[in-house]
């Protein structure tokens, strides 16, 4: 590379032309692809006479030299040491410096570094993404005969014309001058409609559907390929939408897509077992469509299972005579009763190149075509399938026996291995890939449709449908699974939990592996030892490993005595395994202990009730957690230190559940009043108990200072007290000689308290040094320490050190994990807030785009990323006036505004969207859209404010709408909103005097004065 950013083999004149060409294309609003720019570079090189003069015949090279020469020819050579020149050497910027803004006259085709950290002279180009689906080439070859398909009614001649190269060459040769000849554009006449059956097993066949879609799009036989989903509406009406989720897609009647000209081919991918097939609605739809255009069903199940479906295909001959209009007829092989007179055959195809190729030859060949295949008969009044007979809960041995009698060996092995994991699709596919690579969707479908499973209710953020084995079946299957295989399956599951939910999540599969291998799981963890640890969102990831462990190792709790002792033992087992069944048993025994007035029975029952609030069943019932906590609070009466500590924990949970500050203040009083109970009768200090009390007091005070009640000075005072308590707790944990992971957690919480108390940067860094030592090899704690260090450097203004700390933290995250998404979001936000060089903005954009692909689709984090990324794109549009940036930015902002679960974030997103819509050139957006967004921002801010006297979000929303009125010369409306914003600022002034944006307040007053004066 030379200093201009172009390949060193390219003459400077050609580089200047290329730079001018690319700049003009960008000004024209066209962003070229990598291939197009590479073609332009090649043409520029060989079109330049100077390039021919400097080109020398290269000697024959081998090894790395030959590879480098070839790379230079195609513009992809590796970075090599720059040749010695008289000019200063070009170096990359120092870690702490921002690169200078690249010149528009220099263009580089090299791909940017990771996360957008491109060299200053880089020019981004779009490159097509490589397909991740194997076997596309074989499928394309099989479907190639569709290029010869011709509909019964030909299309109208195209109004577009293209260059006829042969005619142009001949005319130019005859006339002696270049004479182009244009002719009508030859384009495919056929269209293709791909429909995915949106049933419970949709996700199983998604890969098959995507593979078929990509194949047809690249085939070149269709002028249009639509990939949609077939839904069942109310009353069994077939509907079609763009996605599998009916709540997020607009559904239209399926007959709106009916074609009677023969131009549109229809393929429906379905296992034909869903409700739409059971009631005959899909078959009636096929009958209406088959008469007008070719229609077929792609059946992913193996043929031996077809008789169990609602569309039982049978083998035979498929016949089509193109000379008679092209209807498909069918001659079955069997000698059964003939079909009804009004029945029509519908081809049933396996998703294999052979079956699809036969169908393609049937439609694309000339004359009479006959191919081997399968078809099913459909009628205009197709009857529904009879309801299943017998009891809903059959004997598990009978169910498993019937499955063994008909299942393939691969499906049987898969069912046995799946008995050790939660039945969600990503985990099922993980087991198939790691343990049974020879199985695929067909074997999985056999298991799903075997009758061994039942559908579970959906939970938030679940990656698809959830299943569980019918009662009694899982235990029977586990009898066929070797314990070593069970351990290996659970190891893969524990890795998935870490990737999916982050390192800070309770990894119950890992604990199950430790118990099965007879390894020690460590000392019984202290109650809530770490404040950062999260529960697994789906309790299946705790229940299933616990069942597996009980299958191979009988629970010793079964032999313990009843009452409080039994409840305490079961509670400890729940902390290890997470199975809610253990808590139900523990509650039963604890209540028996309370009735018998056993010692500590009330304490144990209170602990069990508080633990039950963390189970999925309780979380999904509004108000149930509060009921359990209130019951626990009423039980915890007495002066014992253990009772006092548990009462404080219950009060803390009460505050977390409903946000009422009273329980949090009560927890502070409880913990302060328990100070005298941490000493023995002889006056010596019970260090571990005192450490627990101070640790909880510090955490409660830290949460108290995070609330908005009280002034800024009071919050700093509370934060300082929290830092003292947490520091004392850490010192006590060290003196006990057994500083568990609570020590690092206490120091990290102290880091947050020091930040809020306004402590010096040096003190905060020294505290983090201690935390990093205490973290040891714990990946989750090391990640928290690295993020904390990045925040300290950011607060101190050392953005270079903060950037390095964020990079170190990134290395500790798992790919596609929630921890990574949160980290990248915080990192990108810091770079955007810096407002530095364009390189920093590009880096932030790369970070946020990766975070957006990693974060859960529905949730506050995804909305936060959309808000940040949308704002960054709008800001880039204001710098470069590249209109697609504005369109994408507004799209992301609107997604955040509509889908965020947090009212404050929705208000901010609507405000940003309203401001962005004002930037559109005339005619690109309706004039009232900006005002609509700003009004919605104000409404969301008012709703989020609730009973509070004022909020910054309301003031800013009023300011944004007032600015819009002022630009539109609506002075009175602008003045009214400015005055309302000023009143909001005034109400806030006494509460957050040191935190208010005084520059915005001054701007509000100036605008009011200007409007009143003029």
- Least confident range from 2-16, 28-42, 582-596, 685-699: namely 2-16
**Residue whose tokens read 């032309």:** 17
Q: What is the pLDDT of residue 125?
A: 36
- Least confident range from 370-379, 689-698, 729-738, 993-1002: namely 993-1002
CA dist 580 and 574 (Å) reads 7
Q: What is the pLDDT of residues 343-393, one digit of tens each?
A: 999 999 998 899 999 999 998 888 888 999 999 999 998 888 776 555 456
Cβ neighbours of residue 676 under 8 Å, at least 6 residues apart? none
Whether residues 845 and 860 fall in one domain: no
Tell me how crowded residue 598 is: count the other CB atoms within 10 A of its CB.
Answer: 17
Question: Would you list the DSSP string of 71-106?
Answer: HHHTT-PPP-PPPP-SSPPP-PPPTTSPPPPPPTT-
Q: What is the pLDDT of residues 248-301, one digit of tens each?
A: 788 999 999 998 888 899 999 998 988 899 889 999 999 999 888 899 999 988
Residue in 841, 869, 824 with CA at minimum distance from that of residue 99: 841
Q: Is residue 372 part of a domain?
A: yes
Q: Name the residue with higher pLDDT: 875 or 62.
A: 875
Most confidently modeled of 157-161, 302-306, 459-463?
302-306
**Sign of the torsion formed by the C-alpha atoms of 507, 511, 516 and 517:** positive
Query: Residue 789 pLDDT > 60, yes or no?
Result: yes
**Sign of the torsion formed by the C-alpha atoms of 854, 857, 863 and 867:** positive
What are the tokens at 162? Answer: 């293209």
Query: Residue 74 pLDDT > 70, yes or no?
Result: no
Query: Residue 42 pLDDT > 90, yes or no?
Result: no
Cβ neighbours of residue 719 under 8 Å, at least 6 residues apart? 701, 702, 705, 753, 754, 755, 756, 757
Q: Is residue 757 part of a domain?
A: no
Determine whether 23 is exposed, middle or buried from the number of CB atoms within 10 Å of its CB (0-12, 13-18, 19+). Answer: middle
Query: Residue 409 pLDDT > 60, yes or no?
Result: yes
Q: Is residue 383 part of a domain?
A: no
What mean pLDDT comes out for the span 385-410?
78
Q: What is the pLDDT of residues 541-557, one digit of tens each?
A: 777 787 787 777 776 54
Most confidently modeled of 13-27, 128-142, 975-989?
975-989
Q: What is the pLDDT of residue 225?
A: 92
Q: Name the residue with higher pLDDT: 78 or 755.
A: 755
Its domain, for residue 259, covers 137-151+188-378
Element (H, E) at 184: strand 182-184
CA dist 913 and 873 (Å) reads 12
Whether residues 405 and 544 fall in one domain: yes
CA dist 68 and 798 (Å) reads 40
- Least confident range from 3-12, 540-549, 566-575, 938-947: namely 3-12
What mean pLDDT comes out for the span 668-673?
91
Query: Residue 15 pLDDT > 90, yes or no?
Result: no
Query: Residue 532 pLDDT > 90, yes or no?
Result: no
Q: How confident is the model at residue 865 (pLDDT cuts 50, 70, 90)?
A: very high
Whether residues 848 and 861 fall in one domain: no
Are 718 and 668 in contact, with CB atoms under 8 Å apart?
no
Domain boundary among 911, 946, 981: 946
145-184 exposure pattern, b = at least 16 Cβ within 10 A, e = fewer: bbeebbbeeeeeeeeeeeeeeeebeeeeeeeeeeeeeeee
Query: Residue 952 pLDDT > 60, yes or no?
Result: yes
**Residue whose tokens read 């040749």:** 83
Whether residues 369 and 493 fall in one domain: no
Whether residues 846 and 874 fall in one domain: no
Question: Would you list the DSSP string of 490-541?
Answer: HHHHHHHHHHHH-TTB--HHHHHHHHHTT----SPPPTT--SS-B--SSTHH
What mean pLDDT comes out for the span 72-83?
36
Q: What is the pLDDT of residue 323?
A: 59
Whether residues 356 and 271 fall in one domain: yes
Whether residues 979 and 964 fall in one domain: yes
Q: What is the pLDDT of residue 764?
A: 94
Q: Is residue 307 part of a domain?
A: yes
Q: What is the pLDDT of residue 577?
A: 73
Q: Is residue 514 part of a domain?
A: yes
Given the DSSP bridges, would you call strands 423-424 and 466-469 parallel, antiparallel or unpaired? antiparallel
What mean pLDDT comes out for the span 162-187?
80
**What are phi and psi for residue 66, nearest 5 degrees?**
-65, -40
**Residue whose tokens read 């950290």:** 117
Whether residues 360 and 447 fall in one domain: no
Q: What is the pLDDT of residues 731-785, one digit of tens each?
A: 998 888 766 678 888 999 999 999 999 899 999 999 999 999 998 888 888 999 9
Q: Is the pTM of this model over 0.75?
A: no
- Least confident range from 32-36, 131-135, 335-339, 509-513: namely 131-135
Q: What is the pLDDT of residues 885-920, one digit of tens each?
A: 999 999 999 999 988 888 899 999 999 999 999 998
Whether residues 413 and 465 fall in one domain: yes
Q: 437: phi > 0 → left, psi -120 to 50 → alpha, else beta; which?
A: alpha
Whether residues 227 and 283 fall in one domain: yes
Q: What is the pLDDT of residue 124?
A: 40
**Residue whose tokens read 């604990």:** 511
CA dist 543 and 539 (Å) reads 6
Number of domains the chain contains: 5
Cβ neighbours of residue 659 under 8 Å, at least 6 residues apart? none
Q: Is residue 881 part of a domain?
A: yes
What mean pLDDT comes out for the span 225-229?
92
Q: What is the pLDDT of residue 505?
A: 60
Q: Is residue 261 part of a domain?
A: yes
What mean pLDDT comes out for the span 664-675?
90
Q: How confident is the model at residue 395 (pLDDT cuts 50, 70, 90)?
A: confident
CA dist 932 and 915 (Å) reads 11
Q: What is the pLDDT of residue 507?
A: 64
Q: What is the mean pLDDT of the chain?
A: 79
Q: What is the pLDDT of residue 287?
A: 92
Whether residues 295 and 205 fall in one domain: yes
Q: What is the pLDDT of residue 113?
A: 40
Domain boundary among 907, 922, 946: 946
63-85 exposure pattern, b = at least 16 Cβ within 10 A, e = fewer: eeeeeeeeebeebebeeeeeeee
CA dist 413 and 408 (Å) reads 9
Q: What is the pLDDT of residue 485?
A: 84
- Least confident range from 204-213, 391-400, 646-655, 801-810: namely 391-400
Whether residues 917 and 873 fall in one domain: yes
Q: What is the pLDDT of residues 101-113, one digit of tens each?
A: 333 333 333 333 4
Q: What is the largest CA-CA distance in the chain?
A: 118
Q: What is the pLDDT of residue 538?
A: 60
Q: How confident is the model at residue 720 (pLDDT cuts 50, 70, 90)?
A: very high
Tell me how crowded residue 16 is: count the other CB atoms within 10 A of its CB.
Answer: 16
Tell me how crowded residue 467 is: count the other CB atoms within 10 A of its CB.
Answer: 20
**Sign of the torsion formed by the C-alpha atoms of 635, 641, 646 and 651:** positive
CA 68 to chain centre: 40
CA dist 874 and 890 (Å) reads 8
Collapse the DSSP code of 179 into the 3-class scheme (helix H, G, I; strand E, B; otherwise coil) and give the result. Answer: coil
Are 955 and 977 in contact, with CB atoms under 8 Å apart?
no
Q: What is the pLDDT of residues 462-511, one digit of tens each?
A: 666 788 888 889 889 988 888 888 888 888 777 777 666 655 566 666 66
Q: Is residue 409 part of a domain?
A: yes
Most confidently modeled of 434-438, 682-686, 699-703?
699-703
Q: What is the pLDDT of residue 721?
A: 92
């Amino acid at each position: 590379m030379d200093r201009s950013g172009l390949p060193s083999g390219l003459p400077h004149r050609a580089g200047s032309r290329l730079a001018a060409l690319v700049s003009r294309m960008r000004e024209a609003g066209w962003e070229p692809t990598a291939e197009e720019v590479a073609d332009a570079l090649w043409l520029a090189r060989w079109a330049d006479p100077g390039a021919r003069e400097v080109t020398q015949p290269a000697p024959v090279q081998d090894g790395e030299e030959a590879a480098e020469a070839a790379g230079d020819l195609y513009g992809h050579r590796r970075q090599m040491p720059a040749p010695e020149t008289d000019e200063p050497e070009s170096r990359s910027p120092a870690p702490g410096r921002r690169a200078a803004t690249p010149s528009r006259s220099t263009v580089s085709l090299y791909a940017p570094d990771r996360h957008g950290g491109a060299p200053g002279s880089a020019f981004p180009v779009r490159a097509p993404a490589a397909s991740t689906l194997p076997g596309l080439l074989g499928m394309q070859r099989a479907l190639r005969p569709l290029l010869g398909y011709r509909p019964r009614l030909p299309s109208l001649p195209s109004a577009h014309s293209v260059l006829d190269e042969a005619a142009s060459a001949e005319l130019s040769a005859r006339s002696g001058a270049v004479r182009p000849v244009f002719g009508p554009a030859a384009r495919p006449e056929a269209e293709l409609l791909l429909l995915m059956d949106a049933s419970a097993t949709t996700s199983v066949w998604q890969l098959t559907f995507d593979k078929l879609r990509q194949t047809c799009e690249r085939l070149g036989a269709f002028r249009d390929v639509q990939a949609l989903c077939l839904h069942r509406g109310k009353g069994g009406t077939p509907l079609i939408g763009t996605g599998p989720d009916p709540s997020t897609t607009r559904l239209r009647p399926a007959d709106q897509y009916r074609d009677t000209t023969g131009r549109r081919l229809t393929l429906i991918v379905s296992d034909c077992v869903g409700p739409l097939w059971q009631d005959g609605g899909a078959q009636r739809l096929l009958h209406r469509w088959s008469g007008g255009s070719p229609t077929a069903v792609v059946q992913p199940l193996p043929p031996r299972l077809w008789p169990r479906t609602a569309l039982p295909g049978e083998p035979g001959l498929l016949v089509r005579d193109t000379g008679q209009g092209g209807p498909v007829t069918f001659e079955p092989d069997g000698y059964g009763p003939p079909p009804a007179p009004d029945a029509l055959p519908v081809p049933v195809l396996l998703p294999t190149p052979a079956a699809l190729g036969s169908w393609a030859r049937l439609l694309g060949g000339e004359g009479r075509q006959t191919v081997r295949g399968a078809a099913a008969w459909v009628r205009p009044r197709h009857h529904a399938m009879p309801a299943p007979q017998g009891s809903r809960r059959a004997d598990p041995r009978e169910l498993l026996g019937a499955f063994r009698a008909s299942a393939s060996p691969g499906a049987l092995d898969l069912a046995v291995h799946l008995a050790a994991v939660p039945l969600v699709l990503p985990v099922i596919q993980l087991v198939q890939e790691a343990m049974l690579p020879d199985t695929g969707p067909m074997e999985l479908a056999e298991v799903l449709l075997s009758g061994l499973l039942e559908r579970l209710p959906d939970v938030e953020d679940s990656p698809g449908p959830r299943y569980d084995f019918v009662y009694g079946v899982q235990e029977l299957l586990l009898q066929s699974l070797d314990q070593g295989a069970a351990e290996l399956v659970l190891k893969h599951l524990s890795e998935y939990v870490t990737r999916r939910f982050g390192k800070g999540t309770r990894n119950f599969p890992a604990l199950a592996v430790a118990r099965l291998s007879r390894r020690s799981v460590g000392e019984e963890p202290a109650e809530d030892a770490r404040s950062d640890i999260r529960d697994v969102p789906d309790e299946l990831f705790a229940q299933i490993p616990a069942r597996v462990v009980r299958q191979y190792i009988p629970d010793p709790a079964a032999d313990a005595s009843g009452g409080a002792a039994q409840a305490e033992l079961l509670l400890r087992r729940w902390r290890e395994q997470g199975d809610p069944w253990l808590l139900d048993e523990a509650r039963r025994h604890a209540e028996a202990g309370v009735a018998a007035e056993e010692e500590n029975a009330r304490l144990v029952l209170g602990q069990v009730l508080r633990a039950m609030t963390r189970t999925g069943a309780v979380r999904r019932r509004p108000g149930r957690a509060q009921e359990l906590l209130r019951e626990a609070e009423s039980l915890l009466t007495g002066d014992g230190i253990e009772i006092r500590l548990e009462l404080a924990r219950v009060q803390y949970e009460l505050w977390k559940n409903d946000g009422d500050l009273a329980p949090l203040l009560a927890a502070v009083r409880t913990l302060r009043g328990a100070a005298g109970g941490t000493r023995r009768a002889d006056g010596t200090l019970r260090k571990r108990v005192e450490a627990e009390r101070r640790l909880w007091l510090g955490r409660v005070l830290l949460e108290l200072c995070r609330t908005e009640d009280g002034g800024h000075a009071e919050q700093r005072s509370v934060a300082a007290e929290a830092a003292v308590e947490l520091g004392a707790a850490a010192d006590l944990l060290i003196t006990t000689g057994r500083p568990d992971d609570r020590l690092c957690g206490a120091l990290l919480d102290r880091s947050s308290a020091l930040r809020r108390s306004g402590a010096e940067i040096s003190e905060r860094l020294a505290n983090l040094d201690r935390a990093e030592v205490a973290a040891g090899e714990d990946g989750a704690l090391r990640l928290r320490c690295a993020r904390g260090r990045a925040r300290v450097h950011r607060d101190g203004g050392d953005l270079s050190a903060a950037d390095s700390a964020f990079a170190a933290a990134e290395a500790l995250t798992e790919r596609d994990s929630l921890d990574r998404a949160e980290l990248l979001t915080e990192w990108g936000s810091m770079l955007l807030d810096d407002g530095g060089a364009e390189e920093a903005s590009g880096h932030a954009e790369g970070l946020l785009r990766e975070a957006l692909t990693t974060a859960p689709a529905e949730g506050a984090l995804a909305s936060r990323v959309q808000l940040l990324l949308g704002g960054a794109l709008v800001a880039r549009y204001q710098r470069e006036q590249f209109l697609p940036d504005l369109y994408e930015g507004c799209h992301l902002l609107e997604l955040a505004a509509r889908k965020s679960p947090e009212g404050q974030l929705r208000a901010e997103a609507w405000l940003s969207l309203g401001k962005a819509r004002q930037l559109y050139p005339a005619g690109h957006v309706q004039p009232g859209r900006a005002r609509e967004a700003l009004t919605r921002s104000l409404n969301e801010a008012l709703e989020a404010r609730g009973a509070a006297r004022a909020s910054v979000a309301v003031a800013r929303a009023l300011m944004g709408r007032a600015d819009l009125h002022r630009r539109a010369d609506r002075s009175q409306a602008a003045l009214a909103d400015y005055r309302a914003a000023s009143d909001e600022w005034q109400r806030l002034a006494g509460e957050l005097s040191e935190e208010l944006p005084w520059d915005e307040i001054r701007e509000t007053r100036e605008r009011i004065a200007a409007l009143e004066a003029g």
